[in-house]
Amino acid sequence: MHRILIKNGIIVPMDGNNRTIENKALLIEENGIAAIDSAETLVKKHDINQTIDAGGKVVMPGIVNCHAHQGWTSLCRGIAEDMTVEDYIFRLTEPLIEHVVTDEDMQCFAYLDCVEMLKFGNTCISEFETFSDDTASAIMESGIRGVLGVNMTDADWDFSDPNALPNYNPDLKKKNLDKAIKFYDIWQGKNDGRISVRFSNNVPLLCSPELLTETKILAKERGIGVNTHINAEPMETEAYQLMYQKTGVEFISDVGYLDENTNLVHMIYTKDREIDIVKETNAYMIHCPFEMGKRGACAPLGKMYAADLNMALGSDWLMMDPFEQMRFAAVLARVNSGDALLKNAYDFLEMFTIKAAKALDLDDKIGSLEIGKLADIILVDFDQPHIVPMNSHYDPVTNLVYNVHGSDVSMVIIDGEIVVENGKVNTIDEQKAMEDANIRSEAVFNKFKSLDTNL
Ligand SMILES: [Zn+2]
């Protein structure tokens, strides 16, 4: 049996108690957490294959990132920044999907996105629209725990006209459901269970009621969850009223889409009665704070926290540093509510660890450092000028949320495997991933600019 001992670190277990464990070591046996005890006791009891000195470091559960789009970050960051959401969908990403990028392009960008995710301490990502089997392969190869999803819609939509309402196409519905089922059959449980699948519907507006109902039924039959973006832009919320005389959340609730295995991403333009429905159904709001703020809008977070909604954090695209994201979550909560004491550091860290694992129905396996759970662990280097002093007067959890950067993550362990060591990824050639992404993005945007896109 392979054993790794992590000693001398400050353990932040995220086990439901806001506490730290000092003067104890953590023992990994194969892919699981076997013990938390004094180093001397553990060394006496067990043959240890590898000892990691975590002096000056915090040992915490890996970040569980509930919303990502692997491939799109490295392609579009620096470009889709000072744009409205309507502009980047209609003028950038949809034309790219329709006319430019190939499966090989997206795989290339997914490699780099995985490098970034891993280096910043994300050990599990819920991927919304896995572009193809090639993208899934890149995610698997990186060693990250991936909850993958094929994006389903059945709308024939004229993307050149932002005001057009969608028409639904039964052939497209069948094609996309078949594709998602095939994807599930191939990928569910791959890489010793590190890869799992959920079904995704891009936006309910782009899905017929029948597609949403069938997606949920098929997911339930397989015991998996579903994801959708909702209330992400004003045009979307207006369209539900025009088409159904309902809010978006009322619409998806009425078609049977909502329960505790439903992840609702964004929920920015959300009405009070929608908060009540989400609360009643135990669905999860996946809050992507940085992307939300960039859109110049804010969900009614004060009301949402007061209602005690199930909530977890995601990075969405373009910026994947979870520590920055937690700070934005804190700032937005306070700006929205006017309450400087609304939630604290531990609450925000829970939303990226144990509560995020719960949102993905993985909380029996990951999200906290507890005996019997899988060894998804990160080490964060606190011996840094922007964090020191760190002594008995200071709280590591507070520092994790307010002062740490993703680049302070020095080691990442997933399923007992050391994937990042001294800040370097072991599974993917980082340099090559960057060079390849540079070359391919040049070609992609050369082709894109030859189209008549007005970007
Ligand atoms: Zn998204």
- pLDDT per residue over 252-274, tens digit each? 999 999 999 999 999 999 999 99
Residue 312 Cα to ligand 1 midpoint, Å, equals 14
Residue found under tokens 């990691």? 52
Residue 291 Cα to ligand 1 midpoint, Å, equals 9
Q: Answer whether residue 158 shows pLDDT above 80.
A: no
Q: Answer whether residue 454 shows pLDDT above 80.
A: no
What's the pLDDT score for residue 128? 87
Q: Which amino acid would we find at residue 336?
A: N
Residue 227 Cα to ligand 1 midpoint, Å, equals 10
Contact 323, 349 (CB under 8 A): no
Q: Residue 58, CB half-sphere, CA atoms under 13 Å: how many?
A: 27
Residue 5 Cα to ligand 1 midpoint, Å, equals 38
Residue 94 Cα to ligand 1 midpoint, Å, equals 14
Residue 128 Cα to ligand 1 midpoint, Å, equals 7
List of residues 6+ apart from 183 with CB closer than 8 A: 130, 133, 136, 148, 150, 197
Sorted by where each begins, the domain ranges of the chain are: 3-61+369-425, 63-359
Residue 65 Cα to ligand 1 midpoint, Å, equals 12
Residue 38 Cα to ligand 1 midpoint, Å, equals 43
- Where does the pLDDT of residue 109 fall: very low under 50, low under 70, confident under 90, or very high at 90 and above? very high
Q: Mean of the pLDDT values across residues 54-66? A: 98
Q: In what order do the strands lie in the sheet with 377-381?
A: 10-11, 57-61, 377-381, 409-414, 417-421, 424-425
State which fold the 3-61+369-425 domain adopts.
Answer: Urease, subunit C; domain 1 (2.30.40)
Token representation of residue 84: 């409205």
What's the rounded Cα separation, in Å, for the pair 79 and 76?
5
What's the pLDDT score for residue 451? 86
Contact 146, 140 (CB under 8 A): yes
* Residue from 371, 351, 428, 414 nearest 21 by CA: 371
Question: Hey, do 3-61+369-425 and 63-359 end up sharing a CATH topology, with the first three levels equal?
Answer: no
Does the predicted model carry a pTM greater than 0.85? yes
* Residue from 22, 55, 65 nearest 289 by CA: 65
What's the pLDDT score for residue 393? 95
Residue 235 Cα to ligand 1 midpoint, Å, equals 16
What's the pLDDT score for residue 156? 86
What's the pLDDT score for residue 436? 98
Instruction: Look up the CATH number of domain 63-359.
Output: 3.20.20.140
Residue 55 Cα to ligand 1 midpoint, Å, equals 37
* Residue from 273, 275, 321, 262 nearest 301 by CA: 275
Residue 205 Cα to ligand 1 midpoint, Å, equals 14
When mean pLDDT is compared across 40-44, 155-159, 360-364, the lowest value belongs to 155-159
Q: Mean of the pLDDT values across residues 191-200? A: 98
